[in-house]
Structure 1
Amino acid sequence: MMLSSLRYQWVLLIFFRGILFLCMSSCLKSATVPAFANETDHLALLDFKNRITKDPLQIMSSWNGSTHFCNWLGVTCSPSSKRVMVLNLTAKKLTGSIPPSIGNLTYLTRISLGNNNFYGEIPQEVGRLHHLQLLGLNSNSIGGKVPTNLSYCTQLRVLNATYNNLIGQIPDHLSSLSKLVYLYLGVNNLTGNIPAWIGNFSSLYGLGLSRNNFQGSIPSELGRLPRLGFFQLAENYLSGTIPPLIFNISSIYYFSVAKNQLHGSLPPDLGLTLPNLQIFYCTYNNFTGPIPASLSNASQLMHLSFGDNCLTGTVPQSLASLQSLVRLYFSQNKLGYGKDEDLNFLSFLANCTSLEGLALNNNYFGGVLPSSVANLSTQLQLLTLGGNMIHGDIPIGIGNLVNLEVLVLEDNYLGGTLPHVIGKLQNLTELYLGYNKIFGPIPSSLGNLKKLTELYMEGNRFEGRIPPSLGNCQNLLLLDLSHNNLSGTIPKKVMGLSSLSIFLDLSYNFLTGALPFEVGNLIHLVKLDLSKNRLSGKIPTTLETCVGLEHLYLDNNSFEGAIPRSLKNLRGLEDIDLSCNKLSGNIPKYLSKLVSLKHLNLSYNDFEGEVPSEGIFANASTISVFGNDKLCGGVPELHLSSCSSKHPKFYGKLLALGIIIPVTCIIIFVLLLMYFFPTCSIMKNLREGALSKSSFEDWQFPISYAELLESTNGFSENNLIGSGSFGSVYKGVLSRNGAIVAIKVLNLQQQEASTSFINECNALRSIRHRNLLKIFSACSSIDHKGNDFKSLIFEFMCNGSLDQWLHPKNDERHQRNKLSFIQRLNIAIDVAYALEYLHQHCQTPIVHCDIKPSNILLDEDMVAHVGDFGLVRFLFEASNNPSKTQTLSVGLKGSIGYIPPGSLQWLCQNM
């Protein structure tokens, strides 16, 4: 019994010793195992860390040996195996490359590295990640080709590599990724065709391939994607039509093929087959046909954009039922018929209470702008109706659109005055009113638009002064008030707007006075255009602070004095036009040191002395110094006289004596003649002598159609100054020398227009008289459409025709001016002298046949000039045989309902 007990105790002792040994062995063994469960993952992560070159958020500082790598920031491991399953470092501002060792993290299911600055290429070793379901590399700088080994990641659901620098084609190997739900490769440099095998991805919901270089057509196989919701192929080079099957994928909510080369019409049942449509972008293509009215069935539609296509018809009123509509863009199409009812649909759009953007510019919409525009959504931020055929007044109710930021009404036929309520649109940043027929004063309420950055009001009939309140628009970057009838001085507050940086254009007005010294505040301004006004005084020296200035146009004013030396600080100047002023003194030599200067026009001033020969002056084609008779020297191509070696002051005194003495003698002689002989006879003789001379130098240079097109801004309506039986007359500025001319363009479809052209050429090439309209040149060519083109180029008469002064219209500036008795008498005498010259002093007597007020033009000194020689007749006489004298053919010439006296006289003689 005792023995049995001892044996039992011995067995227990051996058992407990065995247990103790096993425990101790286990502890000893655990002491020899590495501290990390998987050294491979650990080393791969350390390699990834070593590839990071910039880490401003110190993300990698947590990747150290003090904690298990499963606890590192951005790393998630499997709880059981301790293997890395997720690497998520999205938007951590990291810079670096992806190492090939990432392929050792074989348990990875998700890689999210988007919104960083990773560069280099996607390593082929990614193909070893057979469990990978998501690869997010979007918004980095990754280049190279899409790795073919990605084809081994057959569990991949999401592939997102948008906004990178990937190149090459999408490899066909990726056709094995049949479980893809999202394929996003947009905004790269991928080429080739869109693979047709994408149509086999039956689970695909999102396809984004925009902003690449894909060519060819859209594969019809894409119409087999039954779950497709996001479809984005915009900004490629795709051509052909959209496969009809795609329009049958009812799950599509986002559809964008904008900025391609697609064509064809939209199916009429579009809104029925795509009922879930929310976004529909098709801008910048060549789609034709009408806008499908069925789009109203897509009740969730928010953005509908078909700008820059060739759609016809009008905007369906049914679209007004789209309560969720936020943007409706149909600009740059062929919508509308130019009729009054074209814009009726605007009344219905008042139901779209969420509307923020409405773009209808550059179409064929006609009629008036309906007052119902005031009922549009108060959420409206953008309204563009420019480039149509809209007429009438701007509705006062437009002031209700208080959230408008961009208002575009330019290039229409809008008239009336600009409503004062425009000042209520205090959120406006851009206002486009140019090239309409708006008249009256500029409302001072525009000064309330404190957020305004761009203001275009050019090409209208605004009159009166520029309101000083515009100086309150402290954010204004651009101001264009050119081609109007504005008068008075330039307000100092406006000229001192230091925010102006793009351009300030006040040209083609009637502004007077000096250029304010506040112009020096425009330190960021790039372009300053004050040409074609009546400004006077000296050019302010404060211009020297406008260091950003590249284009300076002060031509056709009355600026006087010397060019200020301070302009030498404007090193960025590229164009300078100071022509047609009263500037004097020497041409500053510092102009030759302005290395950026490309064009310089100093013509028709009173400069004297030597023309520099360096810098821009070395190239005669880039400068113009016409009409400065006291200049000398320069490069030979300028054909100026050589400069005298005499001392300038001494030579000037001799010249003065040489002029003063003879002139004094002539004046005394004339006074004596006036005392002893009838005054009228003497004055007539003196005037005849003066009138026989040309007021301009004899220009007989050829002018091309292209130059005339440029000089008139494409024969713009704003340059049209008159029209007659055989053509139209435009004001132009010749690029070669800055000369202002009148260009008569013959309407060759009018019967006898060519004969009129020949008659004028024959008549004007041999006559010279101060009271006859000076012809500079003629152009007989082909226009840009291949049609015959004929025109005559005349001296420009700034005071228009006598008819405008005798019978002013309501919208003409002459209505406030009346001719005095002396002026009327002088004009009559001028015309008489012109006719006497034509009848008595020409080698071949000429009968004008069309004398009337509209053919009598007045220059800046109100001197009359007879023009329009399209109906002249020549009198050829055979001196030895009076019976063979050829006279005018019988017939009435000239305007309908008007018989010119000359024609009547010769008609009577031949009856």
Structure 2
Amino acid sequence: MRNFNLYFKYSAFVLLLSSPLFPQNLVAQAPSCSEEDRAALLTFKAGILKDTTGILFSWVGTDCCGAWEGIECHPETGRVIKLQLQRPRESVGQNLYMKGFLSPSLGKLQFLQVMVLSGMKQIKGYIPESFSDLGHLTQLYLEDSLLEGPIPSSFGKLSSLIALSLSGNHLQGQIPQSLGSLKNLIQINLGRNSLTGMVPSSFRNFRSLQSLDLSYNLLSGEIPSYIGFFKNLTYIDLSNNQLSGVIPILLCNLTNVLDISLSHNKLTGLIPSQIGNLKSLNSLSLSSNFFTGSIPESLGGLQKLWYLNLSKNEFLNPFPNSFRNGLPSLISIDLSYNYLHLDAIEDWINGKELRYLSLAGCSIGGTLPVFARADLLSSIDLSDNEITGNIGDFLTNMTNLQVLKLSSNQLRSNITRINLPESLSTLDLHSNQFYGSVSDLLQKASSFLESIDISSNQVTGSLPQFSEGFRLKCLDLSKNKITGHIPSSISNLTTLEVLDLSRNQVFGVIPATMGKLLGLQWLDLSNNKLTGSIPAVFSRLSKIRHASFRVNSLCGQIPQGRPFNIFPVAAYAHNQCLCGQPLPPCKKI
């Protein structure tokens, strides 16, 4: 009975609200979309010529606040405060984009607080100057598209801005000094553009900055020492520029910094010993510079460091003793291509719980080591060294290994006795002294393998029959002693992009089934004993960028049509009787 009374009272109240006798101005209504804002958004939409994301399909009708995807309005005024057009994370790999131009009309959204246009790929043109009129804007993300021209100097008027990201475009010119007026910035990301000049001196005003990313540009000059005063900074990425000079000692005052990347620049000098003050540091990348001297002992005191990349510099021995018992969190280390002349791999490396290890080009001698926690290793690169002996038990217990690179050493083993981990995706053993049957190796290969390079060895035998299910993208067996035919089942390698069988003793005809390898980009069958013709169906291989059939006994017409008829003559030289472009025309019989 009580429930019935409640229902009756509720029904009566609803009827009263809908009655013409009840004053409607007392009923709370969601504000309608501002006509001015709606017009600005529709002008932007008109500049988008194609939208495969489907986001703008909902931009119809008059209610831009309630039904338009990516739009948020103020609950009381109905003015647009948020514009967020962003590819969803689950769409990675899908061909979703917006194609068109960035309309200045968005500068009329005078109450806008957040603008996100991220991952749209094909929005072109200059960044409109009108955006500097958005005085309420706190976040501006114009990322991963085709925007060009300079960064508007008028952006310095956006005094409320706390986050600015223009990354992943084609922006040019110098970074405006006026951006230094944005004293409330917490994040600035101008990475992956073509910006030139020096890091502006006005950036010294960013005392609240937590994240600084200027990577992948053409910036020059020295790293500003004032960055060392940004006490809240946790992330610095200045990599892939043309910065020179030394690492400022003041940078070592950033006790809250977690990640520093200065790789791929022209930096010189020593790593400051004060770098040991960065007690919070998780990741340090200084690769591909011109640093000299020894690696400082103080690095070994960084208890939280898990990623260290000092590769491609000019570091010398001795190795820091502090590394033996220090760096307890280290899981990834790359010291490749320095002047660290190691008689053998250091014991402390073998004892770490590493996932990623790269010591390529360090003049390492001796034999392959045994790792204490081999089961944790995911990637090993010991290429370009002087390691001898055989693989033996080296791969035992490496149950999670995905990448193995041992190329350009002096290793000698029967390749058929190597037990490859099931998890392996990349195998690079080129330029050693491996021998044995290629057929046995490939038949034992896991379906996870994507790249195999055993070129420049002494491998023999013939190619096996290939079953379906392989994921191979690269197969390089060149410069060996492989014989036999190319099996027609090679067409089952449907993901193949690179195939190199050159400088072997392969004979017979080229199977026409290879015309099914539609993803092939590199094909080298040169210096073998192949006969017959180049199959006409190869004209389907539209992605191919390099092909060579030279030094065989091939005859007949070269497939006519791009790209085979525009490859250089050298690609077909020293055969029996090939004809057709780019060679002389075939004779009519």
Work out which of the residue numbers 504, 508, 514 in structure 2 matches 1:539: 508
Task: Find the counterpart in structure 2 of residue 144 from structure 1.
Answer: 125
Work out which of the residue numbers 332, 340, 347 in structure 1 matches 2:324: 347
Work out which of the residue numbers 470, 474, 477 in structure 2 matches 1:506: 477
Q: Does structure 2 conserve the Cα–Cα contact (< 8 Å) formed by 1:77 and 1:86? A: yes
Cα deviation, 1:134-187, whole Å, max 9, x if unaligned, reads: 333344454433333444443433333233433332333333333332222222
- CA gap of 1:69–1:576, structure 2 versus 1, over 3 A, is closer
> C-alpha displacement at 1:509, in angstroms?
3.2
> C-alpha displacement at 1:237, in angstroms?
1.3
Q: Give yes or no for the alignment of 1:189 onto 2:170.
A: yes
Task: Find the counterpart in structure 2 of residue 121 from structure 1.
Answer: 102
1:130-279 alignment runs, 5 A limit: 131-140=111-120, 142-268=123-249, 270-271=251-252, 273-279=253-259
C-alpha distance in 2 between matches for 1:553 and 1:69: 62
- CA gap of 1:342–1:70, structure 2 versus 1, over 3 A, is closer
- CA gap of 1:118–1:44, structure 2 versus 1, over 3 A, is farther
Task: Find the counterpart in structure 1 of residue 34 from structure 2.
Answer: 41
1:121 is aligned with what amino acid?
A: L
The percent identity for this pair of structures is 23
C-alpha distance in 1 between matches for 2:582 and 2:66: 71
Work out which of the residue numbers 530, 555, 564 in structure 2 matches 1:588: 555
- TM-score, normalised relative to structure 1: 0.53
Cα deviation, 1:6-37, whole Å, max 9, x if unaligned, reads: xxxxxxxxxxxxxxxxxxxxx89978999989
Cα deviation, 1:701-739, whole Å, max 9, x if unaligned, reads: xxxxxxxxxxxxxxxxxxxxxxxxxxxxxxxxxxxxxxx
- CA gap of 1:424–1:569, structure 2 versus 1, over 3 A, is farther
Q: Give yes or no for the alignment of 1:369 onto 2:345.
A: yes
> C-alpha displacement at 1:191, in angstroms?
2.4
Task: Find the counterpart in structure 2 of residue 411 from structure 1.
Answer: 384
> C-alpha displacement at 1:239, in angstroms?
0.7
Q: Does structure 2 conserve the Cα–Cα contact (< 8 Å) formed by 1:343 and 1:365? A: no
C-alpha distance in 1 between matches for 2:159 and 2:280: 31
Q: Does structure 1 conserve the Cα–Cα contact (< 8 Å) formed by 2:293 and 2:315? A: yes
Task: Find the counterpart in structure 2 of residue 391 from structure 1.
Answer: 365
C-alpha distance in 2 between matches for 1:330 and 1:193: 30
- CA gap of 1:533–1:78, structure 2 versus 1, over 3 A, is closer
Task: Find the counterpart in structure 2 of residue 459 from structure 1.
Answer: 431
Cα deviation, 1:64-107, whole Å, max 9, x if unaligned, reads: 78xx966987544444xx543644655487xxxxxxxxxxxxxx
> C-alpha displacement at 1:506, in angstroms?
2.9
Could you say what the CA RMSD is over the residues aligned between the two structures, in angstroms?
A: 4.1
- CA gap of 1:326–1:246, structure 2 versus 1, over 3 A, is same
Q: Does structure 1 conserve the Cα–Cα contact (< 8 Å) formed by 2:416 and 2:440? A: no
Q: Does structure 1 conserve the Cα–Cα contact (< 8 Å) formed by 2:557 and 2:580? A: no
Q: Does structure 2 conserve the Cα–Cα contact (< 8 Å) formed by 1:187 and 1:210? A: yes
2:364 is aligned with what amino acid?
A: I
C-alpha distance in 2 between matches for 1:317 and 1:139: 43
Q: Does structure 2 conserve the Cα–Cα contact (< 8 Å) formed by 1:315 and 1:345? A: no
Q: Does structure 2 conserve the Cα–Cα contact (< 8 Å) formed by 1:386 and 1:408? A: yes
- CA gap of 1:459–1:92, structure 2 versus 1, over 3 A, is closer
- CA gap of 1:58–1:507, structure 2 versus 1, over 3 A, is closer
Task: Find the counterpart in structure 1 of residue 584 from structure 2.
Answer: 618
> C-alpha displacement at 1:263, in angstroms?
0.3
Q: Give yes or no for the alignment of 1:420 onto 2:393.
A: yes
Unmatched segments (≥5 aa) in structure 2: 1-19, 89-95
Q: Does structure 1 conserve the Cα–Cα contact (< 8 Å) formed by 2:59 and 2:68? A: no
Task: Find the counterpart in structure 2 of residue 564 from structure 1.
Answer: 532
Task: Find the counterpart in structure 1 of residue 308 from structure 2.
Answer: 328
1:312-711 alignment runs, 5 A limit: 312-337=292-317, 341-342=318-319, 347-348=324-325, 351-353=327-329, 355-367=330-342, 368-378=344-354, 380=355, 382-397=356-371, 400-442=373-415, 444-447=417-420, 449-466=421-438, 468-471=440-443, 472-487=445-460, 489-490=461-462, 492=464, 499=470, 501-511=472-482, 519=490, 521-522=492-493, 525=496, 527-533=498-504, 538-539=507-508, 542=511, 544-545=513-514, 547-548=516-517, 551-553=523-525, 555=527, 559=529, 563-564=531-532, 567-571=535-539, 572=541, 575-577=547-549, 579=551, 588-591=555-558, 593=560, 596=564, 598=567, 599-600=570-571, 603=574, 611=577, 614-618=580-584
C-alpha distance in 2 between matches for 1:520 and 1:33: 74
Task: Find the counterpart in structure 2 of residue 84 from structure 1.
Answer: 79
C-alpha distance in 2 between matches for 1:299 and 1:505: 45
Q: Does structure 1 conserve the Cα–Cα contact (< 8 Å) formed by 2:558 and 2:579? A: no
> C-alpha displacement at 1:125, in angstroms?
6.2
1:411 is aligned with what amino acid?
A: D
- TM-score, normalised relative to structure 2: 0.78
Unmatched segments (≥5 aa) in structure 1: 1-26, 94-114, 620-633, 636-644, 646-911
> C-alpha displacement at 1:422, in angstroms?
1.3
> C-alpha displacement at 1:618, in angstroms?
1.4
1:277-292 alignment runs, 5 A limit: 277-292=257-272
Cα deviation, 1:737-774, whole Å, max 9, x if unaligned, reads: xxxxxxxxxxxxxxxxxxxxxxxxxxxxxxxxxxxxxx
Cα deviation, 1:399-451, whole Å, max 9, x if unaligned, reads: x332433321111111111132315323333321111111132363433x233
C-alpha distance in 1 between matches for 2:80 and 2:483: 78
C-alpha distance in 1 between matches for 2:555 and 2:197: 60
Q: Does structure 1 conserve the Cα–Cα contact (< 8 Å) formed by 2:86 and 2:117? A: no
* SS in structure 1 of the partner of residue 184 of structure 2: coil
Q: Does structure 2 conserve the Cα–Cα contact (< 8 Å) formed by 1:592 and 1:612? A: no
C-alpha distance in 1 between matches for 2:183 and 2:547: 62
Aligned residues: 542
- CA gap of 1:475–1:594, structure 2 versus 1, over 3 A, is farther
1:359 is aligned with what amino acid?
A: D
- CA gap of 1:89–1:204, structure 2 versus 1, over 3 A, is closer
* SS in structure 1 of the partner of residue 284 of structure 2: strand
- CA gap of 1:436–1:516, structure 2 versus 1, over 3 A, is same
C-alpha distance in 2 between matches for 1:477 and 1:310: 34
* SS in structure 1 of the partner of residue 256 of structure 2: coil
Cα deviation, 1:24-64, whole Å, max 9, x if unaligned, reads: xxx89978999989777257448847948868579849967
* SS in structure 1 of the partner of residue 180 of structure 2: helix
C-alpha distance in 1 between matches for 2:194 and 2:424: 38
Q: Does structure 2 conserve the Cα–Cα contact (< 8 Å) formed by 1:116 and 1:139? A: yes
- CA gap of 1:29–1:123, structure 2 versus 1, over 3 A, is farther
C-alpha distance in 2 between matches for 1:392 and 1:409: 12
Q: Does structure 1 conserve the Cα–Cα contact (< 8 Å) formed by 2:214 and 2:237? A: yes
C-alpha distance in 1 between matches for 2:242 and 2:557: 52
> C-alpha displacement at 1:533, in angstroms?
4.5
Structure with more of its chain in helix, by fraction: 1
C-alpha distance in 1 between matches for 2:137 and 2:237: 25
C-alpha distance in 1 between matches for 2:422 and 2:29: 65
C-alpha distance in 2 between matches for 1:171 and 1:602: 55
* SS in structure 1 of the partner of residue 264 of structure 2: coil
